[in-house]
A and B are shown apart, each in its own frame.
Chain A
């Protein structure tokens, strides 16, 4: 069994089943640090519809214990809006779902990348049922202690046009395509 097959067997939600389980298959579609466009905010194609099963999977993976996170029946009675509540770092799933090979955010799937720091600002909590539009730009690219860093600035707007979350995601990338290839083919 390949690792991708192993991961496919773990999928429990529609998005997880439809997602490409072979992370390395699309490595050539990852934009590199030196080629990533900086600035140029743009709406990523499509939208992220927040399904209850997506949120449950996230909350359960973290072992959350509050029934407002993990029990839809309890949440119907007691949660604002009657739906289970969303964890602020759920934005990770949104970023990965919206990333496509070749787009300006594709570097988040770079083999060999490292995660140094992250910043999420929640204006209004994301809710089950939200249809989120993702506005993205690469806001910075810098070298620190000889390592190449890149930062994405992501804004999530709901179906009313309300800005709900701002997210600055930073990674240290392998410096050039040959370095990425070395990890992708390891």
Chain B
């Protein structure tokens, strides 16, 4: 049976450390599943025939939801640290449309640690989503509240 990964302690994290990459292929099935789950049924994502006519982003193909890219950027942290990772902030910018057929790699790096007292410590990660041409489709800053090592200096 699968188990939940362990959360790291804030004090054990080094800045500059990369989390394991998360890679996914943007298919219509994936976009459909995300669209239904998020209730964002905008035809720019969900209707291939309409996309061919409307070409909102210049492409005849449906494009992935920006919110899906944002979700996957957060998910890179969950895959590494488990679902108990207490994400406090996700701020994302979308820089390039992501049409069906794109392979996306998400890279997350520990940018800085904030060892605050009273259990309020958190880490900030810089997360990039990159397509197969090595171009950035989205970037995020994500804050995660993490426990301190027992006995850590407040």
**0/1 string, A55-99, CB within 8 A of B gives 1:** 001101111111111010010001110000101111011001100
Q: Are the C-beta atoms of A92 and B38 separated by less than 8 Å?
A: yes
Task: Please report the C-alpha to C-alpha distance between residue A116 and residue B139 in the assembled complex, in whole angstroms.
Answer: 11
Closest CB in chain B relative to A178 CB, distance in Å: 15
Report chain A residues within 8 Å CB of B92.
117-119
**0/1 string, A103-128, CB within 8 A of B gives 1:** 00000010111111111111101000
Report chain B residues within 8 Å CB of A142.
none
Q: Which residue of A lies closest to B57 (CB)?
A: A114
Q: Are the C-beta atoms of A66 and B78 separated by less than 8 Å?
A: yes
Known: A12-B36, A58-B38, A62-B75. A3 touches B46 (CB 8 A): yes
Across the A-B interface, how many residue pairs have beta carbons closer than 8 Å? 155
Question: How many residues from B make CB contacts under 8 Å with A?
Answer: 51
- Max chain A CB contacts within 10 Å: which of B34, B67, B91? B67
Task: Please report the C-alpha to C-alpha distance between residue A79 and residue B1 in the assembled complex, in whole angstroms.
Answer: 16
Task: Please report the C-alpha to C-alpha distance between residue A63 and residue B75 in the assembled complex, in whole angstroms.
Answer: 9
The 8 Å CB contact of A116, one of B40, B50, B91, B94, is B94
Closest CB in chain A relative to B124 CB, distance in Å: 13
B123 at the interface (CB under 8 A from A): no
Q: Are the C-beta atoms of B4 and A67 separated by less than 8 Å?
A: yes
Known: A12-B36, A112-B54. A62 touches B66 (CB 8 A): no
Closest CB in chain B relative to A121 CB, distance in Å: 5
Report chain A residues within 8 Å CB of B83.
64, 66, 68-69, 79, 85
Report chain A residues within 8 Å CB of B118.
none
Q: Which of B30-86 contact A (CB under 8 A)?
A: 30, 32-44, 46-47, 49-50, 53-54, 56-57, 65-68, 70-72, 74-75, 78-79, 82-84, 86
Task: Please report the C-alpha to C-alpha distance between residue A3 and residue B47 in the assembled complex, in whole angstroms.
Answer: 6
B134 at the interface (CB under 8 A from A): no
Closest CB in chain B relative to A152 CB, distance in Å: 13
Q: Which of B14-41 contact A (CB under 8 A)?
A: 24, 30, 32-41
Known: A3-B47, A120-B89, A125-B86. A65 touches B79 (CB 8 A): yes
Q: Which of A160-186 contact B (CB under 8 A)?
A: 183, 186
Task: Please report the C-alpha to C-alpha distance between residue A21 and residue B36 in the assembled complex, in whole angstroms.
Answer: 9
B93 at the interface (CB under 8 A from A): yes
Known: A117-B92, A186-B50. A88 touches B87 (CB 8 A): yes
Q: List 14 A-B contacts (CB under 8 A).
A: A3-B50, A7-B32, A19-B39, A23-B43, A61-B30, A61-B33, A62-B68, A66-B82, A67-B3, A89-B74, A115-B65, A118-B91, A119-B92, A183-B54
Which residues does B use to contact A, with CB under 8 Å? 1-5, 24, 30, 32-44, 46-47, 49-50, 53-54, 56-57, 65-68, 70-72, 74-75, 78-79, 82-84, 86-94
Which residues does A use to contact B, with CB under 8 Å? 3, 7, 10-12, 15-16, 19, 21, 23-24, 54, 57-58, 60-69, 71, 74, 78-80, 85, 87-90, 92-93, 96-97, 109, 111-123, 125, 183, 186
